[in-house]
Chains A and B, each alone.
Chain A
Amino acid sequence: MEKKEKKNRITPELLKVVIIRTLPIMTGYVVLGIGFGVLLQKAGYSWPWAFFMSLTILSGTMQYVGVDLLSSGASLITTALVALAVNARYIFYGVSTIDRYKGAGWMKPYLIFTLTDENFALICSTEPPEGVDPHFYAFLVSAFDQSYWIIGSVIGVLLGGALPFDSTGIEFVMTALFATVVVDQWREVKNHIPVICGLGLSILSLVIFGPERFLIPALAGIALVMSFGRRWIDEH
């Protein structure tokens, strides 16, 4: 295929499209970012911590769990194991965007770094405006999404100490996020074995190993069951 010259230029029209399409993510990231910032502030960290975590990690789950890891003084080995276990799903976003991000040039490292759940979903479900390089479009969407997350998390820390209300229980925002994704996924696919397997093995592991140690056995169990149960799960 002949390579068409597409513009990598920010125009008001392009900005408008990107802002409108990222509005839902903006709301979600600012709210969830504030939730993270409040927790981080409660754990005794100042706003630059939120800024650099959101800049270099950019993962809601990782950063929420990260507050726990930071405040409990977890060892670096534990941190690495939990980080790999909690975020293993990112591998599959990578697997799904290998072709899409081919030839992205200087933007590719950033496009790969910004493969969050929401960003991945938005980029895979929308087309760039006429005449705009799809990689540049994805780059802008990703940069906007990350800036919402950074802004939200910094606001959270700054508000944290001076929240006009009692924030006890705000950590439920993360559980609620996972719950909505489970509902969406349940509706999306007919085969419910994987999610039931994930829920069941995690509860089992939680009962056996307790809240501090259940993640790794749960993930190992899930990987085992999914590998050996392929013939009952895979419909293709």
Chain B
Amino acid sequence: MNTDLHSVLTVAVMSACVILLRALPFLIFRGKETPAFITYLGRYLPYAIMGMLLVYGLKDTEVISAPHGIPELIALAVTMGLQALFKKSLLSIVAGTILYMFLVQMVFA
């Protein structure tokens, strides 16, 4: 079991940063009107961030050596295809993940 101080501090830092981000606008724009530039960022930044997070999820993909990211590509295509067709997030996520697990365990093992 891992109960060292560094882990506790790491969790505390993560918690503090997340709380800071969530509370920041309430602290800054208390009783003021939100500036147009912030509203602009609030409107469009989330889309860019989600693209970044998708890349983050795939960051450790083996592209140069076998299996050359093929399991990721297939599972990603199925997940996104299902979502585009049926708009059922849970179905797409579960199906894509089970397919990926099958691919890395059985097909490309």
Chain A residues near B (Cβ < 8 Å):
24, 27-28, 31-32, 35, 43-46, 49, 52-53, 56-59, 61-63, 65-66, 69-70, 73-74, 76, 79-80, 83-84, 86-96, 98, 101, 112-113, 115, 166-170, 172-185, 187, 189, 191-192, 194-203, 206, 211, 214-215, 218-219, 222-223, 226, 230, 233-234, 236
Contacts A49-B11, A178-B57 supplied; 13 other A-B pairs, CB < 8 Å: A57-B11, A66-B10, A70-B10, A79-B10, A94-B22, A95-B25, A175-B58, A180-B93, A182-B80, A199-B54, A201-B48, A211-B59, A222-B48
Please tell me if the beta carbons of A57 and B48 are within 8 angstroms of each other in the complex. Answer: no
Please tell me if the beta carbons of A31 and B90 are within 8 angstroms of each other in the complex. Answer: yes
Please tell me if the beta carbons of A79 and B14 are within 8 angstroms of each other in the complex. Answer: yes
Please tell me if the beta carbons of A202 and B90 are within 8 angstroms of each other in the complex. Answer: no
Contact of A194 among B9, B37, B44, B72 (CB under 8 A): B44
Closest chain B residue to A27 by CB distance?
B90
Contact of A113 among B19, B56, B57, B84 (CB under 8 A): B19
Please tell me if the beta carbons of B79 and A180 are within 8 angstroms of each other in the complex. Answer: yes
Instruction: List 4 tightest A-B contacts by C-beta distance, closest first.
Output: A198-B51, A175-B57, A198-B48, A94-B25
Q: From residue B94, how far is it (CB to closest CB) to chain A in Å?
A: 7
Instruction: A3 to B87: give the CA distance in the assembly, Å.
Output: 40
Instruction: A122 to B72: give the CA distance in the assembly, Å.
Output: 30
Please tell me if the beta carbons of A92 and B46 are within 8 angstroms of each other in the complex. Answer: yes
Q: From residue B49, how far is it (CB to closest CB) to chain A in Å?
A: 5
Instruction: A137 to B102: give the CA distance in the assembly, Å.
Output: 41
Please tell me if the beta carbons of B47 and A180 are within 8 angstroms of each other in the complex. Answer: no
Please tell me if the beta carbons of B100 and A172 are within 8 angstroms of each other in the complex. Answer: yes
Please tell me if the beta carbons of A226 and B57 are within 8 angstroms of each other in the complex. Answer: no
Provide the main secondary structure of the chain A interface. helix
B38 at the interface (CB under 8 A from A): yes
Please tell me if the beta carbons of A175 and B80 are within 8 angstroms of each other in the complex. Answer: no
Interface residues of B in 51-109 (CB under 8 A from A): 51-60, 71-72, 75-76, 79-80, 83-84, 87, 89-90, 92-94, 96-97, 100-101, 103-105
Known: A112-B26, A226-B44. A173 touches B97 (CB 8 A): yes
Instruction: A113 to B1: give the CA distance in the assembly, Å.
Output: 29
Please tell me if the beta carbons of B13 and A83 are within 8 angstroms of each other in the complex. Answer: yes
Instruction: A57 to B103: give the CA distance in the assembly, Å.
Output: 32
Instruction: A59 to B2: give the CA distance in the assembly, Å.
Output: 22
Please tell me if the beta carbons of B42 and A219 are within 8 angstroms of each other in the complex. Answer: no
* Neighbouring B residues of A214 by C-beta, 8 Å: 55, 59
Residue among B9, B100, B104 with max Cβ neighbours from chain A (10 Å): B100
Instruction: A57 to B13: give the CA distance in the assembly, Å.
Output: 10
Contact of B15 among A56, A73, A96, A174 (CB under 8 A): A56
Instruction: A44 to B52: give the CA distance in the assembly, Å.
Output: 28
* Neighbouring B residues of A89 by C-beta, 8 Å: 45-46, 49-50
* Neighbouring B residues of A56 by C-beta, 8 Å: 11-12, 15
Please tell me if the beta carbons of B10 and A182 are within 8 angstroms of each other in the complex. Answer: no
